[in-house]
Amino acid sequence: MNRVEAMSLFVRVAELQSFTAAALSLGLPKSSASQAISQLEAHLKVQLLYRTTRKVQLTHDGHAYYERCREVLAELDELDSMFEQKSELTGALRVDMPVSLARNFLVPRLPEFLDRHPGLEIELSCTDRRVDVVAEGFDCVIRVGALSDSALMTRSLGLMHMGNYASPAYLERHGEPKTLDDLKDHHLIHYALTLGARPFGFEYRDGDEYRVVDMPGRITVNNTEAFSAAALAGLGILQSPRTGNRHHVAEGRLVEILRQYEAEPLPVAMVYPRRRHQARRVRAFMDWVEEIMRDYVD
């Protein structure tokens, strides 16, 4: 096994946290995979992996080597395709995005992208938590909300404007609020990534500033799917992007209320690792995402 093959195997072991799974995915005997990684560690004179009976994990040095391996392999992939005249792309893409964004926007349109590039495979992670883009090996992550990691490259996609919603059943029981004063008699569905953290109240624009009205809530969720589900179940007032609720309003499952009080729009962006050369498949995917998201953001 040459150095590049050993690096590819190491990356696969690190991502699957298993010699057996990595060897199976590459069509190798498990013993050959384990021996190759041991030879790689001996060559580098450093331990890359902690081995237990249940799984393997990266050491501190292993994390650093894993990140560089992915960069080197991506550059080799780009070099291999440098003189290709055809547009066909091959390989795997690992991407992450919020659950609601994947369900409502990306996954329904994904067949057209894969039909355009039949040689590509996609590993799609859907979670509302902030993944570690580099350590978890993501090629591209779509994020909604403020960005904080300046070590990543960013491509802005636009803004998602917010609306206020409640189910017909909730409004029938509690009445429809018309002013901010009316909110004292209502419940807000709270969203918090970390349960136990103090949730925000009802946010609204006041001139050039955004203010918050403290509101009680009977439920706090940490997932956008549960967020919408709670509103549909009549558990309170929902503040969320209009693009994700259009179909609920059209079908009569939610009613938009308090239109004069809009929360601050949410920025949407793609973030990705800083690399000197980015694989063509990653660039193609990001260009396509930017294309389809034009219908959903401002």
In tens, the pLDDT along 189-206 reads 998 877 766 778 899 998
Quote the radius of gyration of the chain (alpha carbons, Å): 23
pLDDT at 287: 93
- The Cα 23–Cα 269 span in angstroms is 36
Give me the percent of the chain exceeding a pLDDT of 70. 94
Give the burial string for 65-76 (b: 16+ CB within 10 Å, else e). Answer: bbbebbbebbee
Residue 222 clears pLDDT 60, i.e. is over it: yes
Tell whether the model's pLDDT for residue 85 goes beyond 60: no
Per-residue pLDDT, averaged over 214-229, amounts to 88
pLDDT at position 231 is 94
pLDDT over 70 (residue 59): yes
Q: What is the 3-state secondary structure (H, E, C) of 177-242?
A: CCCCHHHHHCCECEECCCCCCCCCCEEEEECCEEEEECCCCCCEECCHHHHHHHHHCCCCEEEEEH
Whether 242 and 161 have beta carbons less than 8 Å apart is answered as yes
Model pTM above 0.75: no
Comparing CA positions, the residue from 292, 286, 260, 281 lying closest to residue 271 is: 286
Q: Which amino acid is at 180?
A: L
The predicted model gives 173-189 an average pLDDT of 93
Per-residue pLDDT at 277: 63
In this predicted structure, what is the pLDDT of residue 33? Answer: 86
Per-residue pLDDT of 263-277, as tens digits, reads: 999 899 998 877 656
Token pair for residue 293? Answer: 């998201």
- In the predicted model, is pLDDT for residue 115 greater than 90? yes
Residue 279, pLDDT above cutoff 80: no
pLDDT above 90 (res 170): yes
Q: Give the H/E segment covering residue 143.
A: strand 140-144
